[in-house]
A and B are shown apart, each in its own frame.
Chain A
Amino acid sequence: MTESTQRQKILWILGTILVLFYALIPVLWIISLSLKDPTTIGDQKFFPTKWTWDNYDAVFSGGLGFNHALFNSIGIAMITTLIALVFASMAAYAITRLEFPGKTLILAGALAISMFPAISIVGGLFNVWRVVGLYDTWPGLILPYLSFSLPLSIYILSAFFREIPWDLEKAAQMDGATGAQAFRRVILPLAMPGVFTAGILVFISAWNDFLFANVLTSTDASRTAPVALSFFRGASQFTDPSGAIAAGAVIVTIPILIMVLIFQRRIVSGLTSGAVKG
């Protein structure tokens, strides 16, 4: 669209503004609600009339178990990401670089698993985890997160690995580099963007989960932040927990938002390469 008329231009500018509104209003609302003073939280206004950090103090004070939940969320999501990346890179390397029977089966199986509804396996896990002692533990959540993020990361990494000019490895070795050197200096830098992209998406999906965390945890030992948030109650039966919920929601969202905004290019490329196979 090289030549656009004045009217079209105005239309697209309006469209842009609408898109911005659409994307940002709910987030601005939850931030604004989190800053409202308890006495004015029921004023039904979009912006706070009286600003306060009280809600954040309440969330971090410990009574709601949010600190621990945040720690659980971070730890579980990071460990999941690390293990998923190691396992998925190994598998994706084999799939893109090696010939072996069973390749199609693995890819088809991974695709099928990526479609599994979580609710269908959570009951079985609930029962098994209680027997084997994984119920309400970190590994008890990391394992299902892994099984659901491996298919996506294998697909993304395979897509990225296929684009790597692997002959460079041989060329480097001809020039006198050892196998390890060739891998570290030549292949690794080329593979890192893909690994990084997959890592971000795995972290986001683990951070985002609610169903597994809601069913497979019962105490502060492993309850993650989204679940802790859903358990927020007012200090007494008559206190409205909305302010605290909003503050907690903002805290849960901010790390992901920062990550998403810094790495937006990578996320977009990861989403498209992982899902669109035209």
Chain B
Amino acid sequence: MAVAATQAGQPAAPAPSTGLTDRARQERKLAWLLCAPAVAVMTLVAGFPIVYAFWLSLRRSDLRFPDASEFIGFSNYSAVLQSTTWWRDFGNTMFITVISVTLELVLGMLIAQAMYRAIFARTAIRASVLVPYGAVTVVAAFAWRLAFDPATGFAVNLFNLDPPPLTTHNGSMVIIIFAEVWKTTPFIALLLLGGLALVPDDLYKAAKMDGASSWQRFVKITLPLIRPALMVAVLFRTLDAFRIYDAVFIITRGANNTESVSVLGYNQLVNRLNLGLGSAVAICIFACVMLIAFIFFRFLGASPERR
């Protein structure tokens, strides 16, 4: 790949002097050439649509009434922010995010410890932990939905659940969270395992000699040392959980008041074909995600920057 690129960069003719050496100028030109395709795709297919969505969100734009399209300022936003639906879905999404990320952290830490200290079958554990990671989200959601399905599921009967969880709001939320947690905990566990491997064993031995209990060793040694890995894992998982769409769509389609903000956006855009209102929802979600990221960077010290 780089070969082709180098050849493409070579015919760069020496431009009039601007204080840079020819070599440095050629290097710049080559670098820009090499980055151009990636930057072009990211700008056109991710950057531009966000700007376009913002523009749409300021208009009355309903595909069922294309002629009624006009600029209406922030009316769509006030419609979204004054609706009970948005706030209910926002509440659902926050609930799913907070609970599932917390569970994932606790479970992920336990699994990472189990993998780290595994006495036997180390490879088997790592392999099996990667199974949920490899399962398509839609498949994970189906596995959980069908397990708790009143007609075909084994779980309703086995645990004697009455009423079946998928017929109630709380039950459905629990299943959605379970599906999400099952699928993504391995990701957290692997990141934390990477962090654990960096903790020198001598520290534990020394602390043990000084009489620190295993809980103390965990809180005083492990946690501070794996904090960077932990924060980045939590940041990415939080952003990801807030965007939850697949699991909700497959498990309930928003029934029993379990709609997430992404499903709300989808329904506005695709089912009601209301691009203006749907885009306003989309931009609100975008703002939430950026706010979450900002809070993590600014106050919680997550920094996925390069070393």
Residues of A within 8 A of B (CB): 1-2, 4, 9, 12-13, 15-16, 18-20, 22-24, 26-27, 29-30, 33, 41-42, 44-46, 85-91, 93-95, 98-103, 106-107, 109-111, 113, 115-128, 143-144, 146-148, 150-151, 154, 158-159, 179-180, 183-184, 187, 204, 207-208, 210-211, 214-215, 226, 229-230, 240, 242, 245-246, 249, 252-253, 256-257, 259-261, 264, 267-268, 271-272, 275-278
| From A94, A103, A118, A179, contact of B243 by CB (8 A) | A118
Q: With A and B bound together, what is the CA distance between A258 and B149 in angstroms?
A: 28
- Do A117 and B285 contact each other (CB < 8 Å), given the known contacts A24-B128, A90-B5, A102-B32? yes
Chain A residue numbers with a CB within 8 Å of B286 are 116-117, 120
- Report yes or no: B137 in contact with A208, Cβ–Cβ below 8 A: yes
Q: With A and B bound together, what is the CA distance between A264 and B229 in angstroms?
A: 20
Q: Is the interface of A mostly helix, strand, loop or mixed?
A: helix
- Report yes or no: B138 in contact with A229, Cβ–Cβ below 8 A: yes
> Does chain A have a CB within 8 A of B206?
no
Chain A residue numbers with a CB within 8 Å of B285 are 117, 119-120
Chain B residue numbers with a CB within 8 Å of A154 are 38
Q: List 20 A-B contacts (CB under 8 A).
A: A20-B124, A23-B131, A41-B152, A42-B151, A89-B2, A94-B31, A99-B28, A102-B32, A109-B39, A121-B282, A122-B49, A150-B42, A183-B3, A210-B138, A249-B143, A257-B135, A260-B134, A272-B194, A276-B229, A277-B232
Chain A residue numbers with a CB within 8 Å of B126 are 264, 268
Stretch from B74-82, B94-102, B113-121, B165-173 contacting the other chain: B113-121
> Who on chain B is nearest to A14 by CB?
B114
- Report yes or no: A211 in contact with B245, Cβ–Cβ below 8 A: yes
Other A-B contacts than A249-B139, A271-B190, 6 sampled, CB-CB below 8 A, are A1-B201, A88-B38, A94-B32, A143-B45, A208-B137, A229-B138
> Who on chain A is nearest to B138 by CB?
A226
- Report yes or no: A249 in contact with B233, Cβ–Cβ below 8 A: no
- Report yes or no: B121 in contact with A16, Cβ–Cβ below 8 A: yes
> Does chain A have a CB within 8 A of B73?
no
- Do A30 and B146 contact each other (CB < 8 Å), given the known contacts A16-B118, A98-B30, A260-B134? yes
